[in-house]
Structure 1
Amino acid sequence: MTAPVTSLKTFDLCTAGGAAWTVSAVEGPVPDGLIGRPVPATVPGEVHTDLLAAGEIPDPFDGDNESKLHWIGRTRWSYRTSFAWVADGNDRQELVAEGLDTVATVTLNGQEIGRTANQHRSYRFDVTGVLVAGDNELVIEFEGPVAAAEAARAKNGNWPHTNHHPYNQLRKMASNFGWDWGPDVATAGIWRPIRIESWSGVRIDSVRPLAGVVGDRGVLTTHVGLAWTDNTSATLTVEVGGTQQAVTVEPGTRSVEIVSTIDAVDLWWPRGHGEQPLYDVTVTLNADEWHGRVGFRTMSVDTAPDDDGTPFVLSVNGKPIYIRGANWIPDDAFVTRLTTQTYRTSIQDAVDAGMNLLRVWGGGIYESEAFYDACDELGILVWQDFLFACAAYSEDEPLRTEVEAEAREAVTRLSKHASLAVWNGNNENLWGYVEWSWRVPLAGRPWGAGYYLDLLPKLVAELDPRTPYAAGSPYSFDRFIHPNDERHGTMHIWDVWNQVDYTTYRKYKPRFASEFGFQGPPAWSTLTSVVHDVPLDPYGEQMLVHQKASDGNLKLERGLGAHLPKWKNIDDWHWATQLNQARAVAYGIEHFRSLFPLNTGAVVWQLNDNWPVVSWAAVDGHGIRKPLWYALKRVYADRLLTVQPREVGLVLAAHNDTDENWSTEITVTRRSTGRGGEALAQETFALEVAARSGALNALPDEVAADPTSEYLEVRAADVTTAFWYFVEDTSLQLAADAYTAHVAATTDGYDVIVTANALTKDLCLFPDRLDPAARVDSGLVTLSPGESHTFHVTGAAAPEQLAYPVIRSANDLVQ
């Protein structure tokens, strides 16, 4: 007999639910008058954002405020709220905290109900009998995260790590302690929703709906975890795609598996390969309901050895996918400021650049549902790191228990997402053990390999067997091969940027490049909103606060090499280093794609920033697309033409990453760089490239009479274009007044129409210099004489005229 169950009641303790919270400093190196003084708090939130909203601190991102606020990470903080609760007749009451950051003691009505030590998991505390009808007081006291990490190191011993704080001692977002692109703003607070759940009988504890495909049928295997208070039986129902499956669950049953089948299911595909149909799933347990969405697809990674080494080929529904992706970091240093819309906007940056994968990097967080939902809807595959980055990690207690708890919860929560493509054990830790001098300080102690090679793959096999697992990035998929061997698996390329010229990219033949990149400054308006040095200088005091890489500005300078001249002023520094960043990364990706099918993907470091900073990002901390982003849009296009040197001479490499054959006529023209752009020689040939394939065609054996004043223009009949220059820009004759430009107002902004009278290289418009709200639709445009291009600007009114430094090209750098 199935008895009715009292409905699960939820009492929201977030600010949006009506709870009034305060935060106060309990102990630490705080400013005078702040100890014990309550400050209004927002939940979810972080102490930094609460203090900022209350006017107690300046903006942590501005100027050199970051270092002035380091005391926050060494202070103990107490969050407090009082609330009235009405008894509802249920048997059990539980306090559910989806995210506490990080080392905390939870007290209700003066009674300690639990302690936490992990930002990356939720907690559920039984408060039955402690929660009372009427007034209640909840207090959550957080240890200062920097102090807590240092205390753990003093107690447990040191494990090697990058950067200056021992972030690997805690299960907390590593980059929150500062990174080579991010600020040191170690936070504390209630960072995800918190509530009281009151229930009787039985409730849904977890739902893990795994959608797969057998033939043309969709198969959904729904795993439901249950929690009980009594011996009442229950009816469990799963609805999906017009089907309904129901079972009677006997009292005490902890888990149930229900299999649903949908005939002729519509498959989910990554963008560029098909549509993204999503199916609503409803799980009902008496009066308790769970709602989610799934997409029916299969995922696999081929790492079977071949004659060239070890491939890394990601396939969806049995179809190999060439990966055009980027690494993703937390989109704000204060992650509680992120919203569904901010996630959508940032992921749209990836879509608009032609990407099909984002790698959630292991020094960040398991992202909000809003992130994965957007990826599901937009067809962006997700490579999900487990949260280990650039450090050795203890495998002893209490860390091991926390690692397993967070991993179980993360896999359970995220496994439903159609976009989830790869689980990855760590970022660079296998490589670190081999090359970063860890073995002496470790003195034989376990350092994390047990997680990456044993615990985590077992958990993925148990909880999400439909999704591939990789032990790390980089990884060669063989314990006896160097983890960063270009011939095997995934590779990170960091000697470019750190040590050598970007032309070194062509010396590598990576099977799959999962990290590589080059730095450049953010948009001018972004930079000057936080850097106030007078005069503005690359080596100014505040500028260096917003350059976190070791010797970063020296590497920017060295990286110009023979490609571009050293700047004459700060405007030229800004443009030259942005341009060099774009060219360096494009150079690498064009080379990688020319190697197809040996190379099966590129994941650039990085898509986004978490504050205004000089970094590797394509989109800066204010959401402005840097020149790099426009370079990525070109080299991540579905169809790419690129001129590449080979032993036989110059070749035209064509990569056709579409489902249609590419048949076009190619015109190769050797032109003068000067006014009129005289055609010195011209040839045509037919180009045929099969679907999802690549081809190499030898170019005419052209010898420039004067390499300093000539270039090759390679144009397809479908307007796809590539260029080749015989010398670097520092030796190339480029006209100073190579174009004319005029402005025309539009209903939503203005157009800038540019017409070239001589070769104009890498033309860019920077409307944010006139109005920080302005955005432009295109960039890095190269025009041969006689060609025109229209830049469309939105978000700002039309200026009367445009001039340096709002409109720039490579031409004006070399004059």
Structure 2
Amino acid sequence: MKDVTPLTDGWTLRHDGAELPAAIPGCVHTDLLAAGAIEDPYLGTNENDVAWIGRRDWTYTADVAPYDGGHERTDLVFDGLDTVAAVSLGGRETGRTRNMHRAYRFDVTGGSGPLEVRFTSAYTEAEELRERLGARPGPYPEPFQYVRKMACNFGWDWGPTLVTAGIWRPVRLEHWSTARLASVRPLVTVSGGTGRVELRLTVERTAGGEGRPLAASVSVGGVTGRVSFDGAEAVLAVEVPDVALWWPRGYGEQPLYDCEVTLYDGDAPLDTWTRRLGFRTVTLDTADSAFTLVVNGVPVFARGVNWIPDDAFPSRVTAARYRERLTQAVEANVDLVRVWGGGIYESDDFYALCDELGLMVWQDFPFACAAYPEDQPLRGEIDAEARDNVVRLMPHPSLVLWNGNNENLWGFRDWDWEPELGAESWGEGYYLGLLPRIVAELDPTRPYWAGSPWSGSWDHHPNDPSHGTHHSWDVWNRSDYTDYTLDVPRFVAEFGWQAPATWATMRRAVGASSLAPSSPEMLHHQKAEGGNDKLSRGLSRHFAVPADFDRWHYLMQLNQARAIDTGISHWRSHWPVCAGTVVWQLNDCWPVTSWSAVDGDGRRKPLWFELRRLYADRLLVVRPAGSSVAVCNQGAGPWAADLSLRRMSVDGTVLASASVPVTVAGRSVAEVDVPAGLVLSAGSAKEFLVVSADEERTFFFAARDRDFAYPPARYDVSVSPSASGCSVLVTARSLVRDLLLQADRLGPDAVASEGRVTLLPGEEVRIDVRGCGVPSVDEVRGALFCVNGVGG
């Protein structure tokens, strides 16, 4: 059996004669931070002070002892090098790299002594290629499309410009003899209750192993199989009877089966490969311009979020951090995570957790928002990178879709690329040619889609909402969130609304004295072009923009939650015409004003709580005119309830009411007309509608907040100890609209159980808070906000 020697310890980082300790995996920035050589670039405007790092060359060194274990071959294996590097051992160059998204293996048999990894600045590589291949259009002046590296390292409209270099994934020595498993491709299918695992094996042999008969065995689900062969490839298939199906969360369980492949020379084991597999089918229904994921024969309304790298320095994202963030997604009732194309192929930990948690994964290939040359050496790198990662990720049942790119097909048509490009290549050959061929060859069990947005062919505009996937950004950029209700796309793969991070996160990132919307520090943590102006424009349609920071902060976060409520409620209520919403975005990579539901410090914004409500199985949606209610049921069984409707005045008086029995079949939507006496007149400023069924409730106001005659909010507050911290009881003495407890104002680790809630006179809400002890009533009142006042 092969021996593995991790190369984790004893590394140093060198530059211009200076040396400091290096942590592997890691990057130059994290090593400089650990040594105290730079300030945290996430704080204040420190990002500007470390821009020089990305322009320099760096060298990592370690010593490799001679190997005397008796194996024929020793390989130096890097799971990830970022990005342009020359590797040498004992003074002999072993190889060069130019792709962050690939793993590398170099034969270093008999080698020992100093191991050096010399990194050239990614800027140097990208700018040289841009000069040679010609300029291509993109959203920023940074040359990210000329180097196979995480694009958002070069900055994005939510992320810092921190161009990294380093050994960002594990490195090791592998010692082996005769042969090793170079790749294992499990094609997992299921039919009639029987699961089939067809394993395509590729082996690499030493010179002494050439021509030797080998054997391979597999064990999965209590079934074993074996095959003998004498070449470089073999096929080994087993059938597992009565398999339990893997389902997305909310549709069933997530059973996983251990699969172990062993390579033999006679009876002597040479190498093993182990994974956990799941049996399920996934297809993409595109009939009549639809875009509907179908898992195990069941059409799914995807309740999704977009995922960006969780840290600008991705080597810092541990398995525990993945679990925390993905658990936050699950607790928000998310069932699909789209790995966005300006980031990375995430680590195996990410996909294994999605398998376990029942989160479907939509995986973009790493292309985003720019024209990409199809010339060498980029084309060869992209071919190799795609093959590496398709084979690496295909064992995961959570992976349900390969997607060619983010917004590049749309960009070609709408962003004035064609005049600038002329006859130059821009990536179409990747998305419509190379990548679908690779997926069809290596992983035919999963669907491929050319891009997002994409209408399925050039016969329609790439972002036509009536065909395929759609990105809805005109609303955020130009109009009001109420305009989400003007169309019903087939699948909304991106839409979002900005809000600042939580109060404690912004206070840490910019400093207490800089908590003002237009302070230099706050503006530095707002990367979107005209972002604050768009925030103000979007808020001013509903509220006067306040001068007070605390009120501004609350209203901006409220506006974000309401915007996403408007979009998801409307589109979900039109299932099955609309088959999914994927909110931009779940997470942040640093503390920033952005579209995220969870901020850069891992704190949940009010949007997170809103997603938890909107993505629950049951949802009530009042149509924009207020004349009907969509009763949405994504549960498997029917929902039978009495729909209660009340037309109320601002003082809490019930002016008219009705109860309508309704039964909604599983995975469907029913429409109920609002009785004539309960329909509000257009623009009504003193009345509102309350709709409830079982535990679900929603409100409809016919006037915008700035035009509505709210009474001053009055409520009582009490605080009592609880097992986890404290319990806050708020009792309304008037209508209290969108009450929100910002728990992190009570302590940086404090977490509340509830987001925004509207209370009628006499109603109460109990909010559990952990992480802050037992604050005083006055302290709690200082952390409570609502639309019609900040206290009682």
TM-score normalised per structure 1: 0.94
Residue type of the alignment partner of 2:588? D
Which residue is equivalent to 1:12?
6
Match of 1:64 among 19, 32, 45: 45
Mapped partners of 1:786, 1:255: distance in 2? 73
Q: Tell me if structure 2 keeps the 8 A contact 1:618–1:626.
A: yes
Q: Tell me if structure 1 keeps the 8 A contact 2:680–2:689.
A: no
**Could you report, residue by residue, the CA deviation over 1:658-689 in whole angstroms, capped at 9, with x for unpaired residues?**
11111100111111222xx1111111111111
Gaps of 5+ in 2: none
Mapped partners of 1:84, 1:202: distance in 2? 24
Which residue is equivalent to 2:740?
764
Which residue is equivalent to 1:294?
277
Find out whether 1:211 has 2:188 as its counterpart. yes
Which residue is equivalent to 1:694?
669
Match of 2:109 among 96, 117, 128: 128
Find out whether 1:103 has 2:84 as its counterpart. yes
Match of 2:199 among 216, 222, 241: 222
Q: What is the correspondence of 1:295-374 to structure 2 with a 5 Å cutoff?
A: 295-305=278-288, 310-374=289-353
Match of 1:408 among 371, 379, 387: 387
Mapped partners of 1:814, 1:591: distance in 2? 32
Q: Tell me if structure 2 keeps the 8 A contact 1:565–1:814.
A: no
Q: Tell me if structure 2 keeps the 8 A contact 1:734–1:814.
A: no
Match of 1:91 among 67, 72, 76: 72
Match of 1:606 among 585, 588, 598: 585
SS at match of 2:562: helix
SS at match of 2:203: strand
Mapped partners of 2:2, 2:315: distance in 1? 27
Find out whether 1:529 has 2:519 as its counterpart. no
Which residue is equivalent to 1:785?
761
SS at match of 1:450: helix
Residue type of the alignment partner of 1:757? R
Which residue is equivalent to 2:700?
724
Q: Tell me if structure 1 keeps the 8 A contact 2:621–2:630.
A: yes
Once the two structures are TM-superposed, the CA of residue 730 in structure 1 deviates from its matched residue by 1.0
Q: Tell me if structure 1 keeps the 8 A contact 2:386–2:435.
A: yes
Q: CA 1:75–1:566 in structure 2 vs 1: closer, same or farther (change >3 Å)?
A: same
Which residue is equivalent to 1:23?
13
Which residue is equivalent to 2:227?
247
**Could you report, residue by residue, the CA deviation over 1:228-256 in whole angstroms, capped at 9, with x for unpaired residues?**
01233222001000011011221xx2221
Once the two structures are TM-superposed, the CA of residue 512 in structure 1 deviates from its matched residue by 0.4
Mapped partners of 1:38, 1:155: distance in 2? 35
Mapped partners of 1:78, 1:408: distance in 2? 29
Once the two structures are TM-superposed, the CA of residue 726 in structure 1 deviates from its matched residue by 1.8
Once the two structures are TM-superposed, the CA of residue 813 in structure 1 deviates from its matched residue by 7.0
**Could you report, residue by residue, the CA deviation over 1:98-155 in whole angstroms, capped at 9, with x for unpaired residues?**
10000001011111111000000011111124x14xxx11000111122332222122
SS at match of 1:589: helix
Which residue is equivalent to 1:553?
532
Which residue is equivalent to 1:144?
121
Which residue is equivalent to 1:280?
258
Q: Tell me if structure 2 keeps the 8 A contact 1:730–1:814.
A: no
Mapped partners of 2:653, 2:512: distance in 1? 46
Match of 1:40 among 4, 21, 38: 21
Once the two structures are TM-superposed, the CA of residue 746 in structure 1 deviates from its matched residue by 1.2
Match of 1:444 among 423, 430, 450: 423
Once the two structures are TM-superposed, the CA of residue 762 in structure 1 deviates from its matched residue by 1.3
**Could you report, residue by residue, the CA deviation over 1:581-635 in whole angstroms, capped at 9, with x for unpaired residues?**
1101110111101212211110010000000000000000111110111111111
Once the two structures are TM-superposed, the CA of residue 805 in structure 1 deviates from its matched residue by 3.9
Mapped partners of 1:532, 1:795: distance in 2? 22
Residue type of the alignment partner of 1:48? H
Q: Tell me if structure 1 keeps the 8 A contact 2:485–2:624.
A: no
SS at match of 1:714: strand
Residue type of the alignment partner of 2:359? I
Find out whether 1:267 has 2:213 as its counterpart. no
Which residue is equivalent to 1:258?
236
Find out whether 1:117 has 2:93 as its counterpart. no
Mapped partners of 1:487, 1:640: distance in 2? 24
Match of 2:142 among 165, 189, 192: 165
Residue type of the alignment partner of 2:623? Q
Find out whether 1:683 has 2:658 as its counterpart. yes
How many correspondences in the alignment?
Answer: 781
Q: What is the correspondence of 1:660-679 to structure 2 with a 5 Å cutoff?
A: 660-674=637-651, 677-679=652-654
Root-mean-square deviation (CA, aligned residues, Å) is 1.4
Gaps of 5+ in 1: 1-6, 26-34
Q: What is the correspondence of 1:584-603 to structure 2 with a 5 Å cutoff?
A: 584-603=563-582
Mapped partners of 1:398, 1:665: distance in 2? 65
Which residue is equivalent to 1:3?
none
SS at match of 1:542: helix
Q: CA 1:804–1:152 in structure 2 vs 1: closer, same or farther (change >3 Å)?
A: farther
Q: Tell me if structure 1 keeps the 8 A contact 2:785–2:791.
A: no
Once the two structures are TM-superposed, the CA of residue 737 in structure 1 deviates from its matched residue by 3.2
Q: Tell me if structure 2 keeps the 8 A contact 1:739–1:756.
A: yes
Once the two structures are TM-superposed, the CA of residue 804 in structure 1 deviates from its matched residue by 4.7
Residue type of the alignment partner of 1:105? A
Q: Which region of structure 1 is more displaced relative to structure 2, 376-385 or 688-697?
A: 688-697
**Could you report, residue by residue, the CA deviation over 1:83-107 in whole angstroms, capped at 9, with x for unpaired residues?**
3233211111111111000000101
Mapped partners of 2:791, 2:479: distance in 1? 23
Q: Tell me if structure 2 keeps the 8 A contact 1:650–1:698.
A: yes
Mapped partners of 1:404, 1:434: distance in 2? 25
SS at match of 1:49: helix
Mapped partners of 1:680, 1:449: distance in 2? 60
Mapped partners of 2:781, 2:32: distance in 1? 41
Find out whether 1:234 has 2:214 as its counterpart. yes
Mapped partners of 2:791, 2:554: distance in 1? 12
Which residue is equivalent to 2:613?
634
**Could you report, residue by residue, the CA deviation over 1:391-422 in whole angstroms, capped at 9, with x for unpaired residues?**
11111110000000000011000001010110
SS at match of 2:775: coil
Q: Which region of structure 1 is more displaced relative to structure 2, 630-639 or 152-161?
A: 152-161
Residue type of the alignment partner of 1:680? L
Residue type of the alignment partner of 2:524? V
SS at match of 2:575: coil
Mapped partners of 2:246, 2:780: distance in 1? 48
Residue type of the alignment partner of 2:218? V
SS at match of 2:555: helix
Once the two structures are TM-superposed, the CA of residue 755 in structure 1 deviates from its matched residue by 1.1
Residue type of the alignment partner of 1:209? P
Residue type of the alignment partner of 2:276? R
SS at match of 2:719: strand
**Could you report, residue by residue, the CA deviation over 1:476-524 in whole angstroms, capped at 9, with x for unpaired residues?**
0122211000110000000111111111111121010000000000100
Q: Tell me if structure 2 keeps the 8 A contact 1:501–1:561.
A: no
Which residue is equivalent to 1:29?
none
Once the two structures are TM-superposed, the CA of residue 435 in structure 1 deviates from its matched residue by 0.8
SS at match of 2:59: strand
Mapped partners of 2:724, 2:695: distance in 1? 28
TM-score normalised per structure 2: 0.97
Residue type of the alignment partner of 1:561? S
Mapped partners of 1:739, 1:210: distance in 2? 60
SS at match of 1:38: strand
Once the two structures are TM-superposed, the CA of residue 734 in structure 1 deviates from its matched residue by 2.4
SS at match of 1:785: coil
SS at match of 1:681: strand
**Could you report, residue by residue, the CA deviation over 1:352-381 in whole angstroms, capped at 9, with x for unpaired residues?**
111110000000000011110111011000
Mapped partners of 2:687, 2:259: distance in 1? 62
Q: Which region of structure 1 is more displaced relative to structure 2, 398-407 or 734-743?
A: 734-743
Q: Which region of structure 1 is more displaced relative to structure 2, 780-789 or 537-546?
A: 780-789
SS at match of 2:640: strand
